[in-house]
Amino acid sequence: MAIDFRIRPPFGSFLSMGGIAGDPIPPKDRTLDDAMIPCRKRIPSLVEGSIELFMQEMDLAGIDLGVLMGRRTNNPAYGNANDEDIYELCRRFPKRFIGFSGIDPHEKDSLDRIGKASEEYGFKGVGLDPGWYADPIKADDPMLMPVYEACARRGLIVSITTSIFLGADVSWSDPAPIHRVAARFPELNIVVPHAAWPYIPQMLAVALVCPNVYIVPDCYFYVDMPGSEDITKAANSFLKDRLLFASSYPVIGLGDAVERWKKRGLNEDALHNSMHYNAAKLLNL
């Protein structure tokens, strides 16, 4: 029984987002494939753009619940995932999905969107992609403070995606801004997809001193990127209650992500916690 904490399924506006749109079939010449996902397998649900196939793949992978991670960048390179589409999937599959609203603080109605997502849609968090906004900002930018305050007040989780691919240069991967936010809002639970790679040791240090920070290393862990062994060591000790499994589909197929995650050297407690218990507790299930 697994919980996938970050998925973008082949449905509605998700289909036009960066990482989903385009040719989903890996090339025959593997040197042209994504360097981060060596020998990535063909994903039938992505090829067909089929939510029905996706649900079958969830079942085959043993994933009972998925967090639909919203995105709102207003950047044509990365796109938006509409809250309405997320809500529709949660409505159609109420026991299989939990929604997070995508928020861009540049929009004047961003706080209203948080209220609607929480009160009308029943979402449990918001997704932020600061380095991908049309006008990129850091995680501790003053524009985001009202968002954090609103989420803390409503008991919503905040997801802050941070890694080498978000921002103009490697300095945008530095988790120091997340540290400052976590320290300022100790009652706010923060999850960090991509684990601020390549600043893995620094991100783990932030999690060490900030008990409200959860690590979602997704592909930077399950494909054995540099730093993955540090994540294993942390998960087998102080981070065992705050590591969260995520496939970040469509980065990779669901079954492939589960299989790779289980091979990363987590002890029995850390494996069970990361694949189910930690997420269930965080989501108040």
- Which tens digit of pLDDT belongs to each residue from 136-189? 999 999 999 999 999 999 999 999 999 998 999 999 999 999 999 999 999 999
Res 24: pLDDT:
44
pLDDT tens digits, one per residue of 38-96: 556 778 898 888 999 999 999 999 999 999 999 999 988 888 999 999 999 999 998 99
Res 30: pLDDT:
39
Pairing of strands 190-193, 97-102: unpaired
pLDDT, average across residues 236-254:
95
Residue scoring higher pLDDT (37 or 167): 167
First to last CA, the chain: 13
Res 22: pLDDT:
42
Res 41: pLDDT:
77
Res 34: pLDDT:
56
Q: What is the pTM for the complete model shown?
A: 0.92
pLDDT, average across residues 265-273:
97
Mean pLDDT score of the chain, rounded to an integer?
91
Q: Which of 14, 78, 8, 7 is nearest to 244 (CA)?
A: 7
Pairing of strands 63-69, 97-102: parallel
**Using CA atoms, how far apart are residues 9 and 153, in angstroms rounded to an integer?**
29
Res 276: pLDDT:
97
Q: Band of the pLDDT at 35, cuts 50, 70, 90?
A: low
Res 76: pLDDT:
86
- Would you say residue 226 has pLDDT above 70? yes
pLDDT, average across residues 106-111:
95
pLDDT tens digits, one per residue of 94-106: 899 999 999 999 9
Res 203: pLDDT:
98
- Would you say residue 224 has pLDDT above 80? yes
- Would you say residue 28 has pLDDT above 50? no
Classify 284 in phi/psi space as left (phi over 0), alpha (psi -120 to 50) or beta.
left
Report the 10 Å Cβ neighbour count for 48.
Answer: 13
Res 18: pLDDT:
58
Residue scoring higher pLDDT (159 or 21): 159
In this structure, of 31-40, 187-196, 210-219, the range with the lowest mean pLDDT score is 31-40
